[in-house]
A and B are shown apart, each in its own frame.
Chain A
Amino acid sequence: MFLAPAALFIGVLIIYPLARAAQYSLQEWDGIGLARYVGVTNYTQILTDPVERGSLANLGILLIFYALIPTALALMTVSMMRRTRPRGMGFFRAVYFLPQVIVTVVVAIVWTWLLAPSGTGTVNGLLHAVGLGASTGTPWLGSFNTALPAVGVIAAWLDFGLCFVLLLPGIQRIAPDIYDAARVDGAGLLREFFSITVPMLRRDIGAALTISAVAALQSFTLIYQATNGGPGYTTMVPGLLIYRDAFQLGEVGPASALGIAMSVLIFAITFGIRALIERNAT
């Protein structure tokens, strides 16, 4: 009795639609006419079609910005905090986490202003003010070479606080004696970081990498709003491609195949990072 409503919701609105998605993914269908069975071509197309393959490559680069960079920065920050125990820890934690609770469309809008070619208060404006660069500089989100890393910067800004909050309790759990003993043995800063902090925090680092990597896969809103995949296809990601294929181009099959592939990737990342951590633990 207590279980029935949840089972109904999950069954009807998650499991059944997933089965339909799997079915669509094997078809050629424009959303209106008759569907035609085409086997796995929609899946092989992910690797052969230049736009789809390109979107995966972009995702790979975004993973660095969404996951690796924020985790690394957060790791350095929490280690510094552990050594110096500064005042106002609660304040810093609250501030760093704030981007996570700002509506993503809003984040995208304000960053498109900040990354505009010129203007007071923009990144280019600030660079010009300190003597770096001309008063009208690069249109960061609008040029082929910089659009993807520019989106990456927004992503790193978003996820730093998330990783910070995920790593902070872990480092506070490590007994200070361990660091004291290492210092007696003459371990330096770097040694301390790589021989104590990183191994002791591997579970927390795993959690930070997993959560931020999954966020990278679900970057639809940010990219739709900031660049809509452009210029060209330089910031195209699988999520945006699903939307474009299914709802603008009437290519339901490829969109569904990409959706299934994305889900598989999320499970692979989650369980892959776990397996890696567990194996190194023993």
Chain B
Amino acid sequence: MLSRTERTVCMAVLIMAAVVTLYPMVVLVTTALTPGNGSGGISFGGHLSFSAFSYAWRSGNFSTYMLNTAIVTVSVVAISAVIAIMAGYAIALAKPPGARWVLYAAVFGFMLPVEALIVPWYYQFLKVGITNTYWSMILPQAAQSIAFGTYWMYVAFRSIPKSLSESARIDGASPTSLLWRILVPNVAPAVKTMAALVFLWTWNSFLLPLVMVSNQSLYTVTIGLSTFQGAHFNNFSALAAGSCLAALPVVVIYLFAQRSFIAGIFAGSLVE
């Protein structure tokens, strides 16, 4: 049967992999928390201090960047969740004419890379005059999230037994209350996963704000970090603190809703 050696080797490998995975994150946190060394570079020991965080927050403009990212992310999550839930429901249960085509377009659109669309997005937005606005970051991100969410919610609604919506309809529920009061609570885990993924993608978004926004007061935290590294190359602690701030919201959500994230990653292989 299993030898002790095999168990020990296995455990050692697993722990090694965990150490390698965590090491860069530990470096980031300790560098942010021990700015006292001042030598420039990764730091481990030394005085524990939050001064790098307050420097990044105030002088580094991270308060503005975080707020901008939060505005864009919350808008995208809210807009795309509502629209995708309605569309998924329509395609799975109401089946109006053309529903199939919207589904195909959604799957297709979700697979397209941002890199393929960024050029026309930019020139079209320039023409309408909405570059350098929140909208220029929200609308494209929402469109891709809706494409993903429509497919995702379609799959979720399809798995609800038909009897549920039929009995509600007999009770005289309108399509709107049927959807929001009866069906949506039944697919709550799928909604949570969709929201978590859209949150992650939007928060992480880089190319889109990089191209759309040149006004520094509209920078998202990813762009802020990138330019901060260029400007304060040697202020490792402040950059590390800014990085921690940027990473924190998604990490916190992950810690509380790990299952939601993990349930969503299979979507990428999709198209059953």
By a beta-carbon cutoff of 8 Å, the part of chain A in contact with chain B is 1-3, 5-7, 9-18, 20-21, 24, 31, 77, 80-81, 83-84, 86, 92-107, 109-111, 113-114, 116, 119-122, 157, 160-162, 165-166, 206-207, 210-211, 214, 217-218, 220-221, 224-225, 238-239, 242-243, 246-247, 252, 255-256, 258-260, 262-263, 266-267, 270, 274
Contact = CB atoms under 8 A, between A and B. Distances in A.
Given A6-B87, A14-B143, A92 B14 contact: yes
The 7 closest A-B pairs by CB, nearest first: A6-B87, A13-B143, A207-B269, A259-B116, A17-B120, A2-B90, A14-B109
A166 B266 contact: yes
25 contacts: A3-B90, A7-B98, A9-B146, A17-B117, A17-B120, A24-B120, A31-B123, A77-B17, A83-B2, A83-B10, A93-B262, A96-B18, A101-B250, A103-B222, A114-B27, A160-B21, A161-B21, A162-B265, A210-B268, A211-B265, A217-B113, A221-B204, A225-B226, A259-B119, A263-B112
A25 to B, nearest CB: 9
B146 to A, nearest CB: 5
A255 B237 CA distance: 37
Interface of B: 2, 6-7, 10-11, 13-14, 17-18, 20-22, 24-25, 27-28, 31, 41-44, 83-84, 86-87, 89-91, 94, 96, 98-99, 102, 105-106, 109, 111-124, 139-140, 142-144, 146-147, 150, 175, 179, 200, 203-204, 206-207, 210-211, 221-222, 225-226, 229, 236, 239-240, 243, 246-247, 250-251, 253-254, 258, 261-262, 265-266, 268-269, 271
A15 B116 CA distance: 11
Contacts of B112: 14, 18, 263, 266
Nearest to A222: B206
A259 B207 CA distance: 13
Contact of B147 (A14, A24, A106, A262): A14
B123 A218 contact: no
A120 B41 contact: yes
Contacts of A260: 116
Contact of B204 (A10, A103, A122, A239): A103
**Interface majority SS on B: helix, strand, loop or mixed?**
helix
B197 to A, nearest CB: 10
Contacts of A98: 21-22, 25, 251, 254
Nearest to A122: B42
Contacts of B175: 2
In this complex, which of A17, A18, A100 has the most chain B Cβ atoms within 10 angstroms of its Cβ?
Answer: A17
Contact of A96 (B17, B31, B84, B102): B17
B102 A105 contact: no
Contacts of B18: 92, 95-96
Nearest to B254: A101
Given A10-B143, A101-B250, A86 B206 contact: no
Nearest to A245: B119
A77 B87 contact: no
B150 to A, nearest CB: 5
A210 B255 CA distance: 26
Given A16-B120, A109-B229, A246-B118, 13 more contacts: A3-B90, A6-B83, A21-B116, A83-B6, A92-B18, A97-B262, A100-B265, A101-B253, A103-B247, A103-B250, A160-B17, A165-B262, A210-B268
B103 to A, nearest CB: 10
Contacts of B122: 246-247
A89 to B, nearest CB: 9
A1 B143 CA distance: 18
A221 B117 contact: no
B199 to A, nearest CB: 10
A104 B204 contact: yes
Given A84-B10, A111-B24, A21 B83 contact: no
Contacts of B83: 5-6, 9
A93 B262 CA distance: 10
Contacts of B123: 20, 31, 252
Contacts of A96: 17-18, 21
A48 B250 CA distance: 42
A105 B269 contact: no
Contacts of B226: 105, 224-225
A239 B207 CA distance: 10
Given A109-B229, A120-B42, A121-B27, A5 B86 contact: yes
A220 B269 contact: no
B150 A77 contact: no
Contacts of B146: 5-6, 9-10
Contacts of A221: 204, 206-207, 222
A14 B84 contact: no
A239 to B, nearest CB: 5
Contacts of A247: 122, 211
A9 B269 contact: no
Given A256-B119, A267-B111, A84 B6 contact: yes
